[in-house]
């Protein structure tokens, strides 16, 4: 692992975990030590895991696989949305709707309804309704946009789910596992990583750390697509 990558991770605070009392046992191999009662990640191991994760993402890109990006906490939303949109991938940044994966046919209907309302609005077809009906349809569209706007391009179940903070996104992780969909995650010291396909053990709460790792993942996907 090059010192340059480690320096970059240090600069964004990727090495900071939580207090030892919050550590999940599965994260023990990735902890280097403790400073001011905060556990510190071994960035050599983080870097190694990052590289293997990027290789996996590049392989998915080369095969044209679909990745669903999930990050609903405030620190992650912007980077999940921007990163996913830059590679035309689906994403969830608001509340995870139960059944998004396990009841996908129904979720797909809701996304289709949103696209239908958007299409009708753009064509001026809502003008035939009364003002009250237009208002109700507008409210319906807003709610659908909030819940399903990021997955309108997800015509089938994703091949992989990428999450920021699997502890926070536990329902998404459980649903992916039920559907035998591999999960890749940026995970801090309080996360259970035993059933994850790939894990990047690092700070999943800092905006700068999240931005750094999202960029690494997205760029790995883009670079692999350029080679096609």
Q: What is the pLDDT of residues 198-221, one digit of tens each?
A: 999 999 999 999 999 999 999 999
pLDDT exceeds 90 at position 144: yes
- The model's pLDDT over 88-115, given as tens digits with 9 standing for 90+, comes to 999 999 999 999 999 999 999 999 999 9
Residues 190 and 18: beta-carbon distance below 8 Å: yes
Do 129 and 174 lie in one domain? The reply is no
Q: What is the pLDDT of residues 5-17, one digit of tens each?
A: 999 999 999 999 9
Residues 222 and 162 in one domain: yes
Dihedral class, residue 88 (left if φ above 0, else alpha if ψ from -120 to 50, else beta): left
Domain limits at 139?
104-151
Q: Give the pLDDT band of residue 134 (cuts 50, 70, 90).
A: confident
Which DSSP letter does residue 16 get?
B
Q: Which two tokens stand for residue 213?
A: 């790792």
Shared-domain flag, residues 77 and 19: yes
Residues 94 and 56 in one domain: yes
Instruction: Please state, for a pLDDT cut of 90, what percent of the chain lies above it.
Output: 85
pLDDT the model gives residue 223: 94
Mean pLDDT of the chain: 94
Cβ neighbours around 59 below 10 Å, total: 12
**Is residue 34 located within the same domain as residue 96?**
yes
Residue 137 and residue 46 share a domain: no
What is the DSSP secondary-structure string of 93-141?
A: -SPPPTTTTTTHHHHHHHHHHHHHHHHHHHTTGGGGS-HHHHHHHHHHH
**116 plus 17 within the same structural domain:** no
Residues 114 and 93 in one domain: no
Q: Give the DSSP letter of residue 63.
A: T
State how far the Cα of 41 lies from the Cα of 49, in Å rounded to an integer: 12
Residue where one domain finishes, among candidates 135, 151, 167: 151
- Domain boundary (112, 133, 151) is at 151
Last residue of some domain: 134, 151, 168? 151
Could you tell me the pLDDT band of residue 1, with boundaries at 50, 70 and 90?
low
Q: What is the pLDDT of residue 191?
A: 96
CB distance 181 to 198 below 8 Å: no
Q: Under 8 Å CB-to-CB from 100, ≥6 apart: which residues?
A: 92, 107, 151, 172, 175
Q: Which residues contact 172 (CB under 8 A, 6 or more apart)?
A: 70, 92, 96, 100, 101, 161, 163
Domain check: are 40 and 72 in the same one?
yes
* Among 56, 23, 28, CA closest to 42: 28
CA–chain centroid gap for 205, Å, is 13
Residue 40 has pLDDT above 90, yes or no: yes
Averaged pLDDT for residues 111-120: 92
> What value does the mean pLDDT take over residues 20-27?
92
Q: Are residues 74 and 169 in the same domain?
A: yes
pLDDT at 45 over 70: yes
When divided into structural domains, the chain yields a total of: 2
| Percent residues over pLDDT 70 in the chain | 99
- pTM, rounded to two decimals: 0.93
Within this chain, do residues 141 and 204 fall inside the same structural domain, yes or no? no
Q: Rg of the chain's alpha carbons, rounded to an integer?
A: 19
Instruction: Give tens-digit pLDDT for 178-196.
Output: 999 999 999 999 999 998 9
Domain at 46, CATH number = 3.40.50.10490
| Six-digit token string for 114 | 């949103």
Instruction: Using the predicted structure, report yes or no on whether residue 42 has a pLDDT greater than 80.
Output: yes
β-pairing, 38-41 vs 31-35, is antiparallel
pLDDT at residue 228 is higher than 70: no
Rounded to 10 deg, the angle between the 131-148 and 104-122 helix axes is: 130
**Do both 205 and 133 map to the same domain?**
no
């Amino acid at each position: 692992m090059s010192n340059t990558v480690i320096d970059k991770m240090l600069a964004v605070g990727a090495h900071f975990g939580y207090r030892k009392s919050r550590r999940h046992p599965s994260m023990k191999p990735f902890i280097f030590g403790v400073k001011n009662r905060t556990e510190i990640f071994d960035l050599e191991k983080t870097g190694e895991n990052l590289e293997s994760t990027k290789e996996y993402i590049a392989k998915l890109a080369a095969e044209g696989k679909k990745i669903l990006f999930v990050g609903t906490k405030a620190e992650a939303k912007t980077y999940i949305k921007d990163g996913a949109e830059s590679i035309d991938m689906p994403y969830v940044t608001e509340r995870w709707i139960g059944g998004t994966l396990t009841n996908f046919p129904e979720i797909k209907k809701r996304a289709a309804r949103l696209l239908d309302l958007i299409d009708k609005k753009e064509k001026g077809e809502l003008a035939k309704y009364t003002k009250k009906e237009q208002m109700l349809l507008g409210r319906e569209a807003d709610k659908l946009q909030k819940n399903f706007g990021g997955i309108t391009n997800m015509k089938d179940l994703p091949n992989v789910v990428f999450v920021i903070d699997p502890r926070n996104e536990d329902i998404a992780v459980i649903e992916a596992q039920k559907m035998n969909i591999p999960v890749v995650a940026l995970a801090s010291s309080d996360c259970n990583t035993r059933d994850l396909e790939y894990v990047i053990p690092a700070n999943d709460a800092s905006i700068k750390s999240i931005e750094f790792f999202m960029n690494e993942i997205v760029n790995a996907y883009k670079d692999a697509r350029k080679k096609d």
